[in-house]
Amino acid sequence: MVMGTVRPADVPVDTLTALRRGRDLMDRRFSEALDMETVAAAAGYSRYHFVRSFRGVYGETPGRYLSRRRIERAQELLRSVNLTVTEVCHMVGFSSLGSFSSRFTELTGMSPSEYQRGFRSGPPAIPACFVLMRGSPVRRTES
């Protein structure tokens, strides 16, 4: 985690807790179409206050954080699952293949296709049908 311009010791605990709620929501629901209104509401902040506070503490905007988390998950899928780049793009929450490829290249230094080819020589990938049957994580509730 890259910390921003504010040292965590200088930030009130309730602020860190609120920001963490928003960050945890992004971590849990990264593959969904999340808007900053929803994430900020989870933290109990207005959208603009949340973005400013998040950037000050974590050193990046919530939008960049969310796209980075999506790319991290995409890297894992491209390494281990037999899916196309387009399928991975949509599974991790990107709606545009172009923005996915641009952000992926920006963060990893190579295109998603190049990244995937680099891991094809290893053990066989998990068949896509297994991944697609599993679907998105389901939250279990206790009865």
CATH at 87: 1.10.10.60
For residue range 49-81, what is the model confidence (pLDDT) as tens digits?
A: 999 999 999 999 999 999 999 999 999 999 988
The end-to-end CA distance of the chain, in Å, is 36
- Residue 89 and residue 47 in one domain: no
Report if residue 104 sits inside a domain: yes
Whether residue 7 is predicted with pLDDT greater than 80 in this model: the reply is no
- Residue 74 and residue 38 in one domain: no
Report if residue 142 sits inside a domain: no
**Which residues have a Cβ under 8 Å from the Cβ of 3 and sit 6 or more positions away?**
57, 58, 59
Q: How many domains does the chain have?
A: 2
What predicted TM-score, i.e. pTM, was given to this entire model? 0.77
Interatomic CA distance for residues 100 and 111, integer angstroms: 10
For residue range 86-100, what is the model confidence (pLDDT) as tens digits?
A: 999 999 999 999 999
Interatomic CA distance for residues 63 and 69, integer angstroms: 10
